[in-house]
C-alpha cells in the first residue's frame, strides 16, 4: 500500500511530520483531517513493499531490534505514553528502514490500532515470537514488564550469537587468506617455476605433476572456478528451501565432528530461552511450542517440538517426546518434567538456558584453542607440499651433475 509523507499543523498550532499509509492520496488527506491536522505538504514516499535499494542497504539487523526493544522498554517502564514513546524512538533510531517502520507504527497506534496488530503487519522486521510476546503483554495489561523481559532475552540471544561469530572470525580470516594466497601462487608463480623443470626433460615426481596439473587447470579455467565460487553458496541457499534437502542438512550439521555439539547446544538454548520468554509473557504452552518450533530453525528440533505439542494437546507431559530423543540431554527432559509438575516450568527453562549458555561459552573457548593448531597444521601441510613439489625435482637435478 502507498505510504505518504506529510507535514501538518495541529490544533495547538504545532508543526508535526510523519507517515501515513493509504491506498490513494485523497484517502490519506481524509485520514489526516480525521486526526484534526491542517496539511502543509503531502508527498508519496513509497509505493508499497516492492524492492527498494535503500531498504536493502539499510536492512534491519538483530542489533537494531535489540536497541529498539531496550529503549522502548525503558520508556514504557518510566510511564511514558505508548504513542509518545514511539515518537521519541523515531528520533532515537539510527537505522533508516526501522525509523520509517516505527513512524508508521506510531501513526497507526495514534489512530487507534493495537501495537501488536501494527507489528504483525511487518513480519519482515518483527518476528512472530516478538509479536506474540507484545500481544500477550497488551492482553495482560503488563506491557512494561513484558517489554523489559523481552529486551533482556533479546540482548542475551544477541550476545551469544555475537560471541560465536566473533570466535569464528579468526579461523575464517586465516583460511580465506590461505586460499587467496594459494590461488595467486598457483596461477602466477608456480607456472614459471614448473616451466624450468619441464624444459630439463627429467622425470618429475608425482607431487610435482599434480601441482602442475592443478596450476594449469586454474590458469586455463579460472572463469569456471569463479562461477563455481558464486554458484555453490547460491545453489546451497536455494536448495535448503526444499524440505527434504533441508532435513538432510539439518541432520548432518548436528553430526559434525567438532561443531555438532555446539550446534545442538545452540538450538537447545534457542528453544528454552524463547519458550521461557513466551510463558513469562503469558502465551499458553501449546501456542508457545508452535512459535518456538519455527524459531529453532532446525528441522530435527522443529519436529521434536511439534511432536511435543501434539503430546501436550493429548494430555501428556511436555517431557514425553524429549525423554526418548537422543538430541535432547536427559537432564533437560527430567528438569522439564519437574518444572511441569511443580508449576514452575518458566523458571526451570530459565535455569536450563543459563546452564547451557555457560556450556556454549566453554565450547567456543575450547574450539578457539583447538582450531589454532589445526589451522597451523593445514598451513604447514599446504606449504610443505608446494615446497616439496618444486624443491625435490631441483634437488634431483643438482644431484645428477
Domains of the chain: 1-50 (3.10.20), 167-401 (1.20.81.30)
pLDDT digits (tens, 9 = 90+) for 162-197: 888 887 888 888 888 888 888 888 888 888 877 777
Whether the Cβ atoms of residue 151 and residue 170 lie closer than 8 Å to each other: no
Return the C-alpha cell found at 25.
Answer: 492520496
Contact 266, 363 (CB under 8 A): no
Helix (H) or strand (E) holding 21: strand 15-21
Q: How far apart are CA 46 and CA 21, in angstroms?
A: 9
Q: What pLDDT does 24 receive?
A: 65
Residues of the chain whose pLDDT is less than 50?
A: 48-51, 53
User: For residue 215, with 0-12 CB atoms within 10 Å meaning exposed, 13-18 middle and 19 or more buried, which class applies?
Assistant: buried
Which pLDDT does position 304 carry in this prediction? 92
Nearest to 374 by CA among 175, 203, 161: 175
Given this model, what pLDDT does residue 208 score? 80
Task: Provide the β-strand partners of residue 21.
Answer: 3
> Which pLDDT does position 195 carry in this prediction?
78
Q: Count CB atoms within 10 A of the CB of residue 210.
A: 13
Which is it for the CA torsion 207, 374, 232, 260, positive or negative? positive
Q: What is the pLDDT of residue 5?
A: 79
User: Pick from 138, 150, 140: which is nearest to 276 by CA?
Assistant: 150
Helices of type H across 281-344: 285-295, 299-313, 320-323, 330-342
Continuous H helices in 185-297? 190-200, 206-220, 222-239, 243-253, 260-280, 285-295
pLDDT digits (tens, 9 = 90+) for 8-66: 888 888 888 777 766 667 777 877 887 788 888 887 765 544 445 455 556 888 889 98
pLDDT of residue 51: 46
DSSP letter at 202? P
- Are residues 168 and 176 in contact, defined by beta-carbon separation less than 8 angstroms? no
Kind and range of the H or E element at 15? strand 15-21
Amino acid at each position: 500500500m502507498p505510504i505518504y509523507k506529510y507535514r501538518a499543523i495541529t490544533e495547538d498550532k504545532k508543526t508535526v511530520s510523519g507517515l501515513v499509509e493509504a491506498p490513494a492520496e485523497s484517502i490519506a488527506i481524509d485520514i489526516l483531517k480525521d486526526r484534526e491536522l491542517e496539511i502543509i505538504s503531502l508527498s508519496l514516499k513509497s509505493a508499497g513493499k516492492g524492492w527498494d535499494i535503500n531498504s536493502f542497504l539499510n536492512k534491519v539487523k538483530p542489533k537494531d531490534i535489540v536497541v529498539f526493544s531496550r529503549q522502548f522498554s525503558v520508556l514504557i517502564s518510566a510511564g511514558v505514553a505508548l504513542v509518545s514513546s514511539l515518537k521519541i524512538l523515531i528520533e532515537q533510531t539510527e537505522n533508516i528502514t526501522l525509523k520509517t517502520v516505527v513512524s508508521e507504527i506510531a501513526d497507526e497506534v495514534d489512530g487507534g490500532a493495537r501495537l501488536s496488530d501494527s507489528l504483525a503487519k511487518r513480519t519482515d522486521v518483527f518476528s512472530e515470537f516478538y509479536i506474540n510476546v507484545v500481544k500477550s503483554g497488551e492482553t495482560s495489561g503488563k506491557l512494561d514488564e513484558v517489554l523489559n523481559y523481552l529486551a533482556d532475552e533479546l540482548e542475551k540471544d544477541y550476545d551469544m550469537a555475537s560471541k560465536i561469530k566473533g570466535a569464528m572470525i579468526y579461523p575464517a580470516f586465516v583460511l580465506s587468506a590461505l586460499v587467496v594466497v594459494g590461488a595467486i601462487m598457483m596461477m602466477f608463480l608456480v607456472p614459471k617455476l614448473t616451466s624450468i623443470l619441464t624444459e630439463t626433460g627429467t622425470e618429475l615426481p608425482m607431487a610435482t605433476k599434480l601441482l602442475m596439473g592443478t596450476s594449469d587447470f586454474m590458469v586455463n579455467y579460472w572463469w569456471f572456478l569463479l562461477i563455481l565460487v558464486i554458484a555453490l553458496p547460491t545453489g546451497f541457499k536455494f536448495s535448503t528451501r526444499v524440505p527434504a534437502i533441508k532435513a538432510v542438512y539439518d541432520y548432518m550439521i548436528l553430526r559434525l565432528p567438532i561443531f555438532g555439539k555446539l550446534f545442538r547446544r545452540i538450538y537447545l538454548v534457542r528453544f528454552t530461552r524463547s519458550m521461557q520468554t513466551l510463558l513469562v509473557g503469558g502465551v499458553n504452552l501449546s501456542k508457545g511450542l508452535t512459535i518456538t518450533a519455527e524459531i529453532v530453525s532446525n528441522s530435527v528440533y522443529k519436529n521434536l517440538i511439534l511432536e511435543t505439542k501434539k503430546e501436550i494437546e493429548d494430555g501428556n507431559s511436555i517431557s514425553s517426546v524429549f525423554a526418548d530423543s537422543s538430541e535432547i540431554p536427559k537432564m533437560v527432559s527430567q528438569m522439564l518434567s519437574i518444572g511441569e509438575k511443580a508449576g514452575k516450568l518458566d523458571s526451570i527453562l530459565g535455569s536450563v538456558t543459563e546452564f547451557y549458555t555457560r556450556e556454549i561459552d566453554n565450547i567456543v573457548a575450547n574450539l578457539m584453542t583447538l582450531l589454532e593448531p589445526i589451522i597451523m597444521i593445514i598451513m604447514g601441510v599446504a606449504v610443505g607440499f608446494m615446497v616439496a613439489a618444486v624443491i625435490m625435482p631441483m634437488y634431483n637435478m643438482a644431484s645428477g651433475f
